[in-house]
Structure 1
Amino acid sequence: MTTYAALLRGINVGGNKKLPMADLRELMTGLGHDGVRTYLQSGQAVFTSGHGDEESLAAELTRAVERRFGFSVDVIVRAHAYLKAVAEACPFPAAELEAKQLHVTYFSAPVTAERFAEIDRAAHLPEEFRLGDRVLYLYAPEGLGRSKLAETLSRPRATKGVIATSRNWNTVVKLVEMTAPQA
C-alpha cells in the first residue's frame, strides 16, 4: 500500500465547483481507497491504495468527481516520497519565510525552462521562481494575491498542455506530514 495526496484544482474557490470534503472522502472510499482524509476545504485528500499509479489514480478520481458532482476537475496525485523530495528541494529559505510568501505549483508532467523564457525575471524582483521536478517554486514576498509574477506564471502559455495547481508552503509541509508512513 502506498500513501498518496490528491490535489484537486479549483474546487470550493469563489463559490465555484462546490465539493464538500465529507462527500469527497465518501467518494474516494467508494473507489476502494483506504484511510481517506482531507485537509482544508481547498482540495487536498490523502489516501492509501494498493492499485494503480499516480496518473491512473488521478484519472479515476477525475472521472468519479464528474460522474457524481456533474463538473470536471483536474487532479494531480503524488506519493509521499515525491512530496517529501519537493519540500526538501525548495531553493528558497522556507524556514525563514512566512508561509504566504512561498508557494509550490505542482505540474502533471515535466516542464522545461523554455516554457518560461519570455518572462522578464528582473522586472518582477523581488519576486522569484525556480523550477524543480514537475514543480515551480514561487517566492512572493507580498503574498500570492498581490503577486504580479504569479499572474504572469498562470497565463496559458506557461501552463499549456499540463495540469497546474498551486499550494502555499503550509499545505506543502502538511501534505508531507499526512502522507508519511505511520509507525
Structure 2
Amino acid sequence: MNKYAVFLRGVNVGGVKVLMKDLTRLLQEGGFSEVKTLLASGNVVLTSEISDPLIIQNRCNELLRQYYQREIPTLVFTEAEIEELAQPFALPLPEPATAHHGYLTLCHSARDAQELGQVIQDVAAPHSFLVTGRTVQWIASKGTSTTDPVAKVVQAQAKHRILTTRNHNTLVKVAKIFH
C-alpha cells in the first residue's frame, strides 16, 4: 500500500466550506483507506493501492468536483516527499526565532516551484526563500502570513498555477500521521 498526503487548496476560506468529516467519508467512499485529516484547512493522509500520485490527485479532484459541484484543486505528495519536507526547516529563522514561521508553498511541479521562485526573486527581493523540488520555502513574521511581500506574490501566482501554502509545523504533523 502507498501512503500519500493530499492538500486541498483554498478550503474553509472565501466561502468554500469543506468539513473534514465529510471529506474523510468522501475519500473513503471513493476507494481510499486509512483516511485521516489534520486541521480544518484541507490536509489529508490516505492509503491507496495506486502507485502514481498523479492518478491519486486526479481521483481526489474528481471526487471533490462531483460532491461539491465546483473545482477544489488538490496537490498530492508521497510519504517520502513529506518526510523530506518535515525535516528541520531549511532556512534559518531570524531572531527572535519565536516571532517567525517557516512556510512551504507546495506546487504542482518542480518547474512551477522554479518559476514561482523567480517571481519571488524579481518582486520581493531581498526576502530569503529556497526552492526545493516542488516547494518554495520562505519565512514570515508571525501574523503576516497573508500580508508579507512573499505571501502576496504567492497569492497572485495562485491565480495562474495550482499551489497552496502550509506552515512548516503542519508538514511535521502530517509526517507524524504516516507513523
Q: TM-score range by the shorter chain?
A: 0.7 to 0.9
Aligned positions of 1:104-115 closer than 5 A: 104-111=104-111, 113=114, 115=116
5 Å-filtered alignment, 1:34-183, equals: 34-88=33-87, 90-93=89-92, 97-98=97-98, 101-111=101-111, 113=114, 115-117=116-118, 119=120, 124-125=125-126, 127-142=127-142, 143-156=144-157, 160=160, 162-180=161-179
Letter of the 2:152 partner, please give it: E
CA RMSD of aligned residues (A): 2.5
Shift of 1:152: 2.0
Identity of aligned residues (%): 26
Shift of 1:151: 0.4
C-alpha displacement of 1:107: 0.6
1:29-63 per-residue CA deviation (whole Å, 9 max, x = no partner) reads 01111111111111011111112411111111111
Normalised by the size of structure 1, how large is the TM-score?
0.83
Aligned residue number for residue 12 of structure 1: 12
Q: Distance in 2 between matches of 1:58 and 1:100?
A: 32
Number of residue-to-residue matches in the alignment: 175
Structure 1 residue 98: deviation in Å? 4.1
The 1:123–1:131 alpha-carbon spacing in structure 2 relative to 1, beyond 3 Å, is: closer
Q: In 2, are the aligned partners of 1:33 and 1:47 still within 8 Å (CA)?
A: yes
**Are the structure 2 counterparts of residues 40 and 89 from structure 1 closer, same or farther at C-alpha, using a change threshold of 3 Å?**
closer
Aligned partners of 1:57 and 1:77 also within 8 Å: yes
The answer to whether the 8 Å contact 1:124/1:148 transfers is: no
Mapped partners of 1:72, 1:98: distance in 2: 37
Unaligned runs of 5+ in 1: none
Cα distance in structure 1, aligned partners of 2:30 and 2:124? 47
5+ residue gaps in structure 2?
A: none
**Structure 1 residues 70 and 44, CA gap change in structure 2 (3 angstroms):** same
